[in-house]
């Protein structure tokens, strides 16, 4: 496994935790100097909070761990391409590197629908998609399959 795959596997473990809790399975870790300083998973249902995406949770934890809103020496790994809200939070946190797993053709703001990081903002995070993409997609697909199965009469 590459370093990127190792950290993505950690994010995937959080995504699986989300699925087990009945949440759309998305997980995220934030790494600084070889250490994970933030972990998050989708908790939208649990908290009934629109903003409780994996990246937002991981950024909040990293802010606390690092003791700063500024995460300009951190790298973010997330199993699903960030949405506009999370891509915006990444910009505001000054995170310079983003790795994601599966592409999101419905809500993705890093290439799936549009690419926010191609716009002339003050900061342009380096972006690499497709890390453990098959595994990241499989977790989502099996979650949605099980939901559909539950709804069958
Ligand atoms: Zn999001």
35 catalytically annotated: no
Joined tokens for residue 97: 């590197």
Cα(53) to centroid(ligand 1), Å: 5
Task: Tell me the per-residue pLDDT of 93-116, one tens digit each, with 9 for 90 and over.
Answer: 999 999 999 999 999 999 999 999
User: What is the per-residue pLDDT across 141-152, written as a single tens digit (0 to 9) for each?
Assistant: 999 999 888 877
Q: Ligand 1 centre and the CA of 27: distance in Å?
A: 11
**Structure pTM?**
0.96
**pLDDT score, position 153:** 67
What is d(CA 68, CA 16) in angstroms, rounded to the nearest whole number?
A: 29
In sequence order, what DSSP letters do the residues of 29-79 get, joined into one string?
EEEETTEEEEEEE--HHHHT-TT--HHHHHHHHHHHHHTSS--TT-EEEEE
For residue 153, how far is its CA from the centre of ligand 1 (angstroms)? 32
Residue carrying the six token digits 């903003």: 51
The phi, psi pair for 141, rounded to 5°, reads -60, -40
Rounded distance from Cα 139 to ligand 1 centre (Å): 17
Selecting among 3, 5, 35, 55, the annotated active-site residue is 55
Q: Which residue has the tokens 């915006």?
A: 88
**Once rounded to an integer, what is the mean pLDDT over residues 12-25?**
97
Over residues 32-81, the pLDDT tens digits come to: 999 999 999 999 999 999 999 999 999 999 999 999 999 999 999 999 99
């Amino acid at each position: 496994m590459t370093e990127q795959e190792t950290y993505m596997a950690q994010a995937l473990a959080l995504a699986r935790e989300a699925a087990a809790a009945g949440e759309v399975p998305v997980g995220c870790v934030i790494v600084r100097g070889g250490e994970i300083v933030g972990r998050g998973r989708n908790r939208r249902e649990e908290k009934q909070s629109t903003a409780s995406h994996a990246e937002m949770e991981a950024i909040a934890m990293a802010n606390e761990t690092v003791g700063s809103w500024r995460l300009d020496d951190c790298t973010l790994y997330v199993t699903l391409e960030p949405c506009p809200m999370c891509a915006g939070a990444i910009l505001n946190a000054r995170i310079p590197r983003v790795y994601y797993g599966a592409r999101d053709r419905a809500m993705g703001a890093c290439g799936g629908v549009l690419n926010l990081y191609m716009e002339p903002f003050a900061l342009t995070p380096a972006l690499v998609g497709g890390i453990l993409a098959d595994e990241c997609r499989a977790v989502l697909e099996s979650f949605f399959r099980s939901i559909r199965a539950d709804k069958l009469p």
